[in-house]
Chain A
Amino acid sequence: MKVLVGVKRVLDAYVKARVKPDGSGVVTDNVKMSMNPFDEIAVEQALRFKEAGQVEEIVAVSIGPAKSEETIRTALAMGADRGILVEADAEIEPLAVAKVFKALVEKEQPELVLLGKQAIDDDCNQTGQMLAALLGWAQGTFISKIELGDGNVTVTREVDGGLERAQIKTPAVVTVDLRLNEPRYASLPNIMKAKKKPVDKTTPAELGVDATPRITTLEVQEPPPRAAGVKVASVAELVDKLRNEARVIG
Chain B
Amino acid sequence: MANLVIAEHDNSELKSATLNAITAAAQIGGDIDVLVAGNGCAAAAESAAKVSGVGKVLLADAPVYEHQLAENLAPLIVSLAREYSHVVAPATTFGKNVMPRAAALLDVSQISDIAEVVSEDTFIRPIYAGNAMAKVQSSDPIKMITVRTTKFDASAETGGSAGVQAVDTTEDAGLADFLGQDLTQSERPELTTASIVVSGGRGMQSGENFMLLDKVADKLGAAVGASRAAVDAGFVPNDYQVGQTGKVVAPDLYIAVGISGAIQHLAGMKDSKVIVAINNDEEAPIFQVADFGLVEDLFKALPELEAELS
Contacts of A124 in B (CB 8 A): 110, 112
Contacts of A159 in B (CB 8 A): 93-94, 181, 239
Contacts of A246 in B (CB 8 A): 253, 274, 291-292
- Across the two chains, which residue of chain B brings its CB closest to A239? B308
Task: Determine if B3 is an interface residue (Cβ-Cβ < 8 Å).
Answer: no
- The interface stretch among B45-53, B57-65, B81-89, B293-301 is B293-301
Q: Mark B221-256, 1 if CB is under 8 A from A, else 0.
A: 000000010011000011100001101000011000
Task: Determine if B101 is an interface residue (Cβ-Cβ < 8 Å).
Answer: yes
Contacts of B99 in A (CB 8 A): 129
Contacts of A94 in B (CB 8 A): 100, 109-110
Q: What's the least CB distance linking A36 to chain B, in Å? A: 11
Number of B residues, CB within 8 Å of A: 86
A130 with B101: in contact, given A160-B92, A167-B179 (CB under 8 Å)?
A: yes
Q: Mostly helix, strand, loop or mixed at chain A's interface?
A: mixed
Task: Determine if A187 is an interface residue (Cβ-Cβ < 8 Å).
Answer: no
A173 to B7, CA, bound (A): 25
CB contacts under 8 Å to A, within B105-156, are 105, 107-113, 122, 126-140
Contacts of A248 in B (CB 8 A): 196, 252-253, 273-274
- The interface stretch among A80-88, A115-123, A188-196, A197-205 is A115-123
A132 with B274: in contact, given A94-B109, A217-B136 (CB under 8 Å)?
A: no
CB contacts under 8 Å to B, within A143-159, are 144, 154, 157-159
A219 with B134: in contact, given A98-B104, A141-B96, A230-B293 (CB under 8 Å)?
A: yes
A238 to B288, CA, bound (A): 17
A232 to B220, CA, bound (A): 20
Contact of A178 among B175, B232, B273, B274 (CB under 8 A): B232
Contacts of B174 in A (CB 8 A): 169
- The interface stretch among B36-44, B67-75, B205-213 is B67-75
Task: Determine if A19 is an interface residue (Cβ-Cβ < 8 Å).
Answer: yes
- Across the two chains, which residue of chain A brings its CB closest to B192? A160
- The interface stretch among A47-55, A59-67, A221-229 is A221-229
Q: Mark A226-250, 1 if CB is under 8 A from B, else 0.
A: 1101111011101101100010110
Contacts of B101 in A (CB 8 A): 129-130, 132-133, 139
Contacts of A140 in B (CB 8 A): 176
Task: Determine if B304 is an interface residue (Cβ-Cβ < 8 Å).
Answer: yes
A178 to B309, CA, bound (A): 36
A158 to B174, CA, bound (A): 22
Q: Are A215 and B113 in contact (CB under 8 A)?
A: no
Task: Determine if B182 is an interface residue (Cβ-Cβ < 8 Å).
Answer: yes
Q: Are B132 and A166 in contact (CB under 8 A)?
A: no
A216 with B137: in contact, given A126-B110, A164-B178, A179-B231 (CB under 8 Å)?
A: yes
Task: Classify chain A: how many residues form its interface, as a range.
Answer: 35 or more
A141 to B131, CA, bound (A): 25
A166 with B176: in contact, given A161-B183, A235-B301 (CB under 8 Å)?
A: yes
- Across the two chains, which residue of chain B brings its CB closest to A93? B109
Task: Determine if A165 is an interface residue (Cβ-Cβ < 8 Å).
Answer: yes
Q: What's the least CB distance linking A205 to chain B, in Å? A: 18
Q: Are A231 and B228 in contact (CB under 8 A)?
A: no
A242 to B107, CA, bound (A): 50
Contacts of A232 in B (CB 8 A): 292-294
- Across the two chains, which residue of chain B brings its CB closest to A246? B274
What are 27 of the A-B contact pairs (CB < 8 Å)? A16-B131, A17-B128, A94-B110, A117-B245, A118-B245, A124-B110, A126-B112, A129-B98, A130-B110, A133-B103, A138-B71, A139-B101, A141-B93, A160-B239, A166-B177, A167-B177, A168-B177, A214-B139, A216-B137, A218-B136, A218-B137, A221-B132, A221-B135, A223-B126, A230-B291, A231-B295, A232-B294
Q: A17-B128, A95-B104, A220-B135 are in contact. List 4 more A-B contacts (CB 8 A).
A: A14-B263, A128-B100, A142-B96, A235-B301
For the complex of A and B, the 6 pairs showing the least CB-CB separation, nearest first, are A17-B128, A130-B104, A129-B100, A138-B175, A133-B104, A126-B100
Point out residues on A near B: beta carbons under 8 Å.
Answer: 11, 13-14, 16-17, 19, 26, 38, 93-95, 98, 117-118, 120-134, 137-142, 144, 154, 157-169, 177-179, 213-223, 226-227, 229-232, 234-236, 238-239, 241-242, 246, 248-249
